[in-house]
Amino acid sequence: MPTKTKATKPAAKSAAKKTLSKKWVYLFEEGNKDMRDLLGGKGAGLAEMTGAKLPVPPGFTITTEACNAYTAAGNQFPKGMWEQALAALKTVEKKSGKKFGDPKNPLLVSVRSGAKFSMPGMMDTVLNLGLNSETLKGIEALTKNPRFAQDAYRRFIQMFGRIVMDIDAKKFDAIFDGAKEKHHAKQDTDLDTNALKEVVVKYKELYKKEIGEEFPEDPYKQLELAIGAVFGSWMGKRAVDYRRINKIPDNLGTAVNVVTMVFGNMGDDSGTGVAFTRDPATGENELYGEYLTNAQGEDVVAGIRTPMKIAELKEKNPKVYNEFRAIARQMEKHYREMQDLEFTVERGKLYMLQTRTGKRTARAAVQVAVDMVREKLITKEEAVQRVEPNQVVQLLMPQFDPKAKDEAKKNGGLLATGLNASPGAATGLAIFDPDTAEKLGKEGKSVILVRYETSPEDVHGMYASKGILTQHGGATSHAAVVARGAGLPCVAGCEGIRVDEEKKLFSADGKTIKEGDYISIDGGAGEVFAGQIQTILPDYDKEEDLKTLLGWADDIRLKKSRKGMERAPEVGLQVWANADYPRDARMARRFGAQGIGLCRTEHMFFETERLPIVQKMILAKDDAERQKYLDQLLPIQRADFVGIFEAMEELPTVIRLIDPPLHEFLPSYEELLVKATELRVKIEYMQKDNVNSSTEQAQFKETEELLKAVAGMKEANPMLGLRGCRLGITMPQITVMQTRAILEAACTLKKRGVNVHPEIMIPLVGHVNELKNQREILEAEAKKVLAEQGVDLEYKFGTMIEVPRGALTAAEIAEYAQFFSFGTNDLTQTTFGYSRDDAEGKFLLKYVEDKILPENPFQSLDQKGVGQLMQIAVKAGRATKPNLKIGICGEHGGDPSSIEFCHRIGLNYVSCSPFRVPVARLAAAQAALTPISKDK
């Protein structure tokens, strides 16, 4: 059929054409910032700036695909690449008005590597490429500065030899130092033109000796070798190792940027600098960076002369400063983001050489985001998305007093810098083993645990410390993971220190720190100091910018509802807090909590003056005796709840009835056994000596009775034993007393005119009948209290969903519940079949390290398993009661990715520790702004 032949022919042709004409090279004006995959970060930045009409020297980028093709072909340029590069070079020549290899007006270029992410191991930049003995003359004539020309030439030969051809830099240095000695030159700049000429001759001799060929005179040969070397560096050992460790795939490849040279070393009207458009530490809207007059870019890094602060440039060279500031402003307008810039001034004319998004501290992130909204650069939604929720944690953690820290640095107190594994600052005694750390920690001493690396056997010492320092290990090392989980500052992988755990000391920076010496660590900066540094606890009330940002976050999360999502009765994800005491409740409100999602009542039983009553109540022989002690506990609990309700006023407050197994309130079996044995022996001796032992005998009898009671309550698996609503069902008097205490307290407040909202939560329900039983008993008591008090009050009864059966039968359970709250700590334990303490102490961290589990499911919700049960429960619960209020009160309620999940499945609120409320507010807003993708 004619159509068929017609159809195949052009296709084949175009396919052939496609392979021939694959685009390997992009002029800067052909790319943009979204092409990082193809052009690398540096190339995409240069292209975007060119497109924005910023002054970028003309140039082009060879793609990362070309790099991959080069590697695949056994280090051969792909077909067509070189021709395209030559064509691009022609265009660059036209733009710059110079010619590559032209002895009269030569074009010189830099050859710069640039992968999608900046990474170590990539080839360093070669400057001044295109110089040879001919073009050198052109540069001499044009600049009328023979010394400059010779200097550029010797730099080029050195860089090319070292970077492209891998000649040992020391060999070049030896020649250069020899010349300085011979000419009695103190500084590089003291060498005159002739001396530099001698250096060039010796450099070329060295090159020939090392490579076996003359130094390439042909600029095109120079370019070809340099491009090949950049591609080759992608598969170099250092780069490959780095990618393995950081899980960066090998197939990204690096791009090569060829950029017209501009010279910052042409006199005092020239120079080079690096700067952030705003202060990356404070976020202040001021240029921040350094400038070096009469220098090329590499001089700043090499530290040959001390550069001046950009602020000084403002006074010393206002013209350059103002021009740069104007460009920086323009850059920010264009990118609508703080930038980190490299620039060079050639004879008063400014050129941009690099841009990227500026890294910043938590404080700066908040300040910049808020300022940019005020400057109308970005929207409030964007501002809210620009700050990482975990940066908020950083802002609220203890920090070093900046002045004291600067002082310590000035006085040489900085010992070493490692990985900033977990934020916060800590000062304490250096301790080298976990047992001593635990002992001193329990005595109330501030301890910093210093180890080569940590393992599960160290955990008890870590928890007792104020901070952790390790010599070895990365961001997912044991130390880092545990510290982040526990909210402890941690500097990990600090290879600058040498830890000797045997001798209990470490050395760094020529100093030795022994056990018991004070050290200070800044986990946000990764810094380790000798001595004590004053720490300050940030005051949330004074964090105006943070409060503004979180205010916007609240507007966003509470307004945005999702289409097709049953979220009732409120719209948007609320943030509540877990608080057991009035002081926690007050703190939660200050941080912006809209309710209490979990008030645990058993803490109240543990307080010293109450525990004896609690114990007698538990050990009571019969109901009547038990009631006697419960009557004593009632006013105490009532007072506790009055305190909580006073703090929360009209906000909803969920109070959970007693949850842990009763033996937790009794002395330990082992301790009692020892005591009983000792008493028995003592009595025997006393009797032998005919001493009256009646007191001891009474004590012995009491101890033995207690021992019997404790033994009777001992459980093989307390976590799965008599606890939660099972306790309320076996001993209803306890929960009846608690319900009475809660409602009497609520009535007290109501009588004062405060419209309180108590919500009584029944824990650990797995079968609807458990809830039915408890609710009937407790509701009867509630009605009785309200009738006695003559008060009309709204209260709710609900349940925790924290065992899989509860989730699976949520439709039935919802019949008897006015709200659900996911207790995801227990739900994670019972879904995985792990007991948390045993798991975290024994195998869980190994699981995470070995990637058997992606992360600790007690820190970040296991969405596939535990999350699936939650989804089932939400759906089933709301099928029974469309307006069922559902929240989460496990620790996951404060974890950003878990919060995102809670938003997605339509919960009404997350409840977390008061300290994490600001984090959750931000994370919830970000969740509201994240489009729901189908695959999620």
From ligand ADP, Mg ion, none, interface partner of 436 (C-beta below 5 to 8 A by class): none
Q: Is 889 a catalytic residue?
A: yes
**Residue 701 to residue 606: CA distance in whole angstroms:** 25
45 binds ligand ADP (CB under 6 A): no
CB under 6 A: which stretch of 175-183, 222-230, 253-261, 767-775 binds ligand ADP? 253-261
Q: Which tokens sit at 708?
A: 């019997």
Give the residue ranges of DSSP H helices in 791-934. Answer: 804-808, 810-813, 824-832, 836-842, 844-849, 866-880, 896-904, 917-929
Cβ contact 333:316 at 8 Å: no
Nearer to ligand ADP, 265 or 913 (CB): 265
Query: Among ligand ADP, Mg ion, none, what binds residue 826 when CB lies within 5 to 8 Å by partner kind?
Result: Mg ion
The CB-of-897 to ligand ADP minimum distance in angstroms stands at 32
Indicate the residue among 259 and 350 with the shorter CB distance to ligand ADP: 259
The DSSP bridge partners found for residue 126 are 111
Helix (H, G, I), strand (E, B) or coil at 139: helix
Rank residues 344 and 477 by Cβ distance to ligand ADP and give the closer one: 344
DSSP code for 160: I
Give me the residue label for tokens 């295109």.
130
From the CB of 129, what's the least distance to Mg ion, in Å?
A: 16
Residue 298 binding ligand ADP, by CB under 6 A = yes
Q: What span, in angstroms and rounded, lies between the C-alpha atoms of 429 and 441?
A: 10
Helix (H) or strand (E) holding 536: strand 535-536
- CA pair distance 283, 276, nearest whole angstrom: 10
Nearest approach, Cβ of residue 650 and ligand ADP (Å): 57
823 binds, among ligand ADP, Mg ion, none (CB under 5 to 8 A by kind): Mg ion
Q: How far is the CB of 262 from ligand ADP (least distance, A)?
A: 4
Q: Taking the mean position of all CA atoms in its chain, how far away is CA 278?
A: 22
125 binds, among ligand ADP, Mg ion, none (CB under 5 to 8 A by kind): ligand ADP
E strand or H helix at 575, and its extent? strand 574-578
Catalytic residue among 490, 494, 747, 889: 889
- Find the distance separating the first CA and the last CA of the chain, reported in whole Å: 47
Q: Which is nearer to ligand ADP, 262 or 814 (CB)?
A: 262
| CA–CA gap between residue 236 and residue 350 (Å, rounded) | 35
By C-beta, is 350 or 519 nearer to ligand ADP?
Answer: 350
Least separation in angstroms between residue 808's CB and Mg ion is: 17
Q: In this chain, which of 344, 367, 830, 863 binds ligand ADP, going by CB under 6 A?
A: 344
Task: Report the candidate in 669, 678, 671 with the shortest Cα–Cα distance to residue 699.
Answer: 678
The answer to whether the CB of 487 falls within 8 A of the CB of 465 is no
Residues 6 or more apart in contact with residue 45 via CB below 8 angstroms: 33, 354, 355, 356
Q: Does 151 bind ligand ADP (CB under 6 A)?
A: no
Q: Which of 66, 69, 131, 259 binds ligand ADP (CB under 6 A)?
A: 259
Annotated active-site residue in 67, 478, 490, 599: 478
**Which partner in ligand ADP, Mg ion, none is near 261 (CB below 5 to 8 A by kind)?**
ligand ADP
Residue with tokens 């842990």: 660
Nearer to ligand ADP, 299 or 438 (CB): 299
On whether the CB atoms of residues 445 and 464 are closer than 8 A, the answer is no
Considering only residues 421 to 450 of the shown chain, the ones binding ligand ADP according to CB under 6 A are none
Which chain residues interact with Mg ion by CB under 5 A?
Answer: 342, 354, 802, 823, 826
Q: Name the residue nearer to ligand ADP (CB basis): 125 or 465.
A: 125
Binding to ligand ADP by residue 96, rule CB under 6 A?
A: no
Indicate which single residue of 65, 340, 342, 640 sits in contact with ligand ADP (rule: CB under 6 A): 342
Stretch that binds ligand ADP, among 150-158, 228-236, 260-268, 852-860 (CB under 6 A): 260-268
DSSP string, 168-186: -HHHHHHHHHHHHHHTT-S
Least separation in angstroms between CB 299 and ligand ADP: 8
Encoded tokens for 415: 């010992």
Count residues binding ligand ADP (CB under 6 A). 15
Q: Is 268 exposed, middle or buried (0-12, 13-18, 19+ CB in 10 A)?
A: exposed
| Count of CA atoms in the C-beta half-sphere (13 A) of 29 | 8
Q: Which CB sits closer to ligand ADP, 57 or 806?
A: 57
Q: Which is nearer to Mg ion, 229 or 801 (CB)?
A: 801
Q: What share of the chain is helix, strand, coil (3-state, %, to 5)?
A: 55, 15, 30
Q: State how far the Cα of 327 lies from the Cα of 116, in Å rounded to an integer.
A: 25
Q: Does 353 bind ligand ADP (CB under 6 A)?
A: yes
Report residue 808: phi and psi, to 5°.
-70, -30
Say whether residue 57 binds ligand ADP (CB under 6 A).
Answer: yes
What single-letter amino acid sits at 133? S
CA distances from 572 to 354, 513, 832, 903 (A): 42, 53, 30, 8
**Contact with ligand ADP (CB under 6 A) among 139, 261, 550, 814:** 261
Q: Does 49 contact ligand ADP by CB under 6 A?
A: no
**Stretch of 225-233, 257-265, 557-565, 744-752 contacting ligand ADP, by CB under 6 A:** 257-265
Question: In degrees, to the nearest 5, what angle opens at C-alpha 757 toward C-alphas 755 and 763?
Answer: 165
Identity (one letter) of the amino acid at 760? I
Residue closer to ligand ADP, measured from CB, 43 or 389: 43
802 binds, among ligand ADP, Mg ion, none (CB under 5 to 8 A by kind): Mg ion
Task: For residue 786, state whether it binds ligand ADP (rule: CB under 6 A).
Answer: no
Distance of CA 259 to the CA centre of its chain: 36
Q: How far apart are CA 899 and CA 441, in angstroms?
A: 33
Least separation, in Å, of the C-beta of 402 and Mg ion? 28
Residue indicated by tokens 């710059």: 96
CB 483 within 8 A of CB 462: yes
Beta carbon of residue 188, minimum distance to Mg ion (angstroms, whole number): 22
CB of 140 to ligand ADP, least distance (A): 19
Query: Using N-to-C axis directions, what is the helix angle for 146-159 and 169-182, rounded to 10°?
Result: 150
Among Mg ion, ligand ADP, none, residue 829 binds (CB under 5-8 Å by kind): none
β-strand pairing of 518-522 with 425-431: antiparallel
**Closest CB to ligand ADP among residues 256, 588:** 256
- Return d(Cα 380, Cα 928) in angstroms, integer: 13
- Residue 654: name the closest of 818, 814, 861, 802 by CA: 818
Q: Among 110, 222, 735, 829, which residue sits at the site for ligand ADP (rule: CB under 6 A)?
A: 110
Least distance to Mg ion from the beta carbon of 234, Å? 18
Q: At residue 274, what are phi and psi to the nearest 5 degrees?
A: -130, 140
Q: Which does 57 bind (CB under 5 to 8 A by kind): ligand ADP, Mg ion, none?
A: ligand ADP
Choose, by CB under 6 A, the member of 135, 354, 427, 859 that binds ligand ADP. 354
Residue number, 320 or 762, with CB nearest to ligand ADP = 320
Q: Does 254 bind ligand ADP (CB under 6 A)?
A: no
Q: Which is nearer to Mg ion, 471 or 828 (CB)?
A: 828
Least CB distance to ligand ADP at residue 372 (A): 26
Closest separation in Å from C-beta 826 to Mg ion:
4
CB of 604 to ligand ADP, least distance (A): 60
Q: What is the CA angle 697-699-702, rounded to 5?
A: 110
Per this entry, what is the length of the chain? 936
Binding status of residue 262 toward ligand ADP by CB under 6 A: yes
Taking CB under 6 A as the rule, does residue 297 contact ligand ADP?
yes
Q: Which residues carry out catalysis?
A: 478, 889
Please report, as ranges, the residues that interact with ligand ADP according to CB under 6 A.
57, 110, 112, 125, 127, 259-262, 297-298, 342, 344, 353-354
